[in-house]
Amino acid sequence: MSEQNKQLFNSFVARYPTRTYQRGEIIIFQGEAPQSTFVVRSGVVKAYNLSIHGDEKPVGFFGEQDSFPGTWIYNKVPSAIYYYEAFTPECAVYLIPRDEYVRFIKEHQQMALIELDHYVESQLALSMQLNALQHSRANEKLMYMLHYLCLTHGRPAGERKRQIDLKLTHQDFANLTGLTRETAATELNKLKRLGVISYGKNEPYTIDLNKLQLILNDQYIAELDLKS
């Protein structure tokens, strides 16, 4: 988003009240009809579903200036189809009446194009996440999920390297891939020994895309890159 468009968007959302949530606090419950559009002011929001056994199944993360829940905002569903929860220690969101948010998007062509681009990238990201889950082997599930994360939530950290901005635990990786925490930890350690990923107690996950792509089986997926 250009600086001019950022200023336009920020001046719009600044008219509305904000609410702050702590990590783990639910912002919207599944099945709840939201009272407003939520736009992330700071922090990260996690969207997820629950299996019949109560296991968490993350479906996406929302960062600064992202709006949710999109399917409700644009009148595709009457209520939220996922849970939305604060993922960072503190998360602040703007509360904007749905009609006013949609009117703003429609009245500014550039904002509409940015919104369209956002949803196209979200659809691509979801298809990548689904592709990761469809693999039967644990190491492949994790490698494809890492690829998805570094393209959608990563930032440059050197030549052909991406640092994942999300502070994920081994349990988070397990939830994302459908593996046990122990298996996720084991596979991450294997990739660490191969130099595909580096991380530590207070060190973020950094992915070496060249090394990751050498062991991905799908050439076209491996070469995929998202444009910022």
**pLDDT by residue, tens only, the chain of 228 residues:** 678 888 999 999 999 999 999 999 999 999 999 999 999 999 999 999 998 888 899 999 999 999 999 999 999 999 999 999 999 999 999 999 999 999 999 999 999 999 998 888 888 888 888 888 888 899 989 998 998 888 888 888 888 899 998 999 999 999 999 999 999 999 999 999 999 999 988 889 999 988 888 887 665 555 556 444
Which of the four CATH numbers 2.40.70.10, 2.102.10.10, 2.60.120.10, 2.40.10.10 does domain 3-107 have?
2.60.120.10
**Residue 148 and residue 108: Cα distance in Å, rounded?**
31
**Residue range(s) in the chain whose domain bears CATH number 2.60.120.10:** 3-107
User: What is the CATH class of 116-222?
Assistant: mainly alpha
Which pLDDT score is estimated for 228?
43
pLDDT of 91: 97
CB 103 within 8 A of CB 152: no
What are the φ/ψ torsions at residue 39 (nearest 5 degrees)? -125, 125
Q: What integer pLDDT is reported at residue 29 of this predicted model?
A: 97
Q: How many CB atoms within 10 Å of residue 182?
A: 10
Provide the pLDDT for residue 217.
Answer: 65
Prediction pTM value: 0.86
Cα separations in angstroms, 157 against 168, 192, 213: 17, 16, 17
pLDDT for 13 equals: 96
Q: In whole angstroms, how far apart are CA 164 and each of 42, 53, 157, 160? A: 17, 29, 9, 13
Tokens of 62: 């929302």
Per-residue confidence (pLDDT) for residue 53, from 0 to 100: 84
Q: Cα–Cα distance between 72 and 55 in angstroms, integer?
A: 24
Domain with CATH 1.10.10.10 in the chain: 116-222
Distances in Å between the Cα of 138 and the Cα atoms of 34, 160, 171, 178, 180 are 37, 25, 14, 9, 10
Residue 130: closest CA among 115, 117, 147: 147
pLDDT at 227: 44
CA 29 to CA 143: how far, in whole Å? Answer: 31
Cα within 13 Å of Cα(11), Cβ side: 6
State the DSSP string of 181-213.
HHHHHHHHHHHHHTTSEEEETTEEEEEEHHHHH
**Looking at residue 82, what DSSP letter applies?**
S
**What is d(CA 108, CA 9) in angstroms, rounded to the nearest whole number?**
10
For residue 137, the SS3 value is coil
